Amino acid sequence: MILLSVGSSSSSQIAAIFSVTLLLFYFSEATLGSPCPINGLPIVRNISELPQDSYGIPGLTHMTVAGSVLHGMKEVEIWLQTFAPGAATPIHRHSCEEVFVVLKGSGTLYLAETHGSFPGKPVEFPIFANSTLHVPINDAHQVKNTGNEDLQVLVTISRPPIKIFTYDDWFMPHTAAKLKFPFVWDEQCFQESQKDEL
């Protein structure tokens, strides 16, 4: 902090104004103008003020409520996702547990319970408002809005940030699955954090 000394009576006022100006400049440049605006996780936040985006996935709106890359979370990550009718996640798997709470709408969880050389034909589970679903570690799965209104889910994953393996179909070999890390909503902040470490 820089202090100016102009006279005994006005120096503390000028120092205070200058300090506030520096703080405002710092926060407007370093946090508000950044695509990764939160460093650490405040105790209380207004969820309606959090950024959300489709990240190029048609019909999806994703919001990271508490994240590893964005907020420094170590053990869990929480997302709020909304799927338009017909929208779906890719067929994918990851080495972490995942729990969904369906807040509104309906859809289908497709879960491959086979552990052979490819996912195989999935079991279909209907999901609906107030239902929860748990996806075991490394089980290939897909969530799809098969209803007529938006499907909104609150998602909790363990061990973030996650490495996602995507499949073109349910019979694609595990060895051919495509690794996506960091995932689309973490890409920009992950790249910025890597630059900061250099």
Q: What is the pTM of this model?
A: 0.74
Per the structure, the count of domains in the chain is: 1
pLDDT at res. 72: 78
Is 168 a domain residue?
yes
145: domain CATH number? Answer: 2.60.120.10
User: What integer pLDDT is reported at residue 17 of this predicted model?
Assistant: 38
Q: What is the pLDDT of residue 42?
A: 76
| C-alpha to C-alpha distance for 28 and 37, rounded to whole angstroms | 10
Alpha-carbon span 8 to 174, nearest angstrom: 73
Q: Is position 115 annotated in a ligand binding site? A: no
- Residues whose CB falls within 8 Å of the CB of residue 91, separated by 6 or more in sequence, listed in order: 110, 119, 140, 141, 142, 166, 167, 168, 169, 170
**174 annotated among ligand-binding-site residues:** no
Q: Which residues contact 96 (CB under 8 A, 6 or more apart)?
A: 137, 157, 158, 159, 160, 162
| pLDDT (0 to 100) of residue 182 | 66
Per the structure, the complete domain to which residue 182 belongs is given by 50-196
pLDDT, residue 69, reads 76
Give the pLDDT confidence score for residue 113 in this predicted structure.
Answer: 72
Strand-pairing partners, residue 61, are 82
The verdict on residue 136 lying in a domain is yes
Pairwise CA distance, residues 198 & 106, whole Å: 45
User: What's the pLDDT at 1?
Assistant: 33
94 is in an annotated binding site: yes
Q: What pLDDT score was predicted for residue 51?
A: 85
Look-up of token digits 């920009």: 188
**43 lies in a domain?**
no
What does the pLDDT read at residue 73? Answer: 78
Q: Is residue 104 part of a domain?
A: yes
Residue 195's pLDDT is 61
Specify if 145 maps to a domain. yes
Q: What is the DSSP letter of 177?
A: P
92 is in an annotated binding site: yes
**Low-confidence spans in the chain with pLDDT less than 50:** 1-11, 13-34
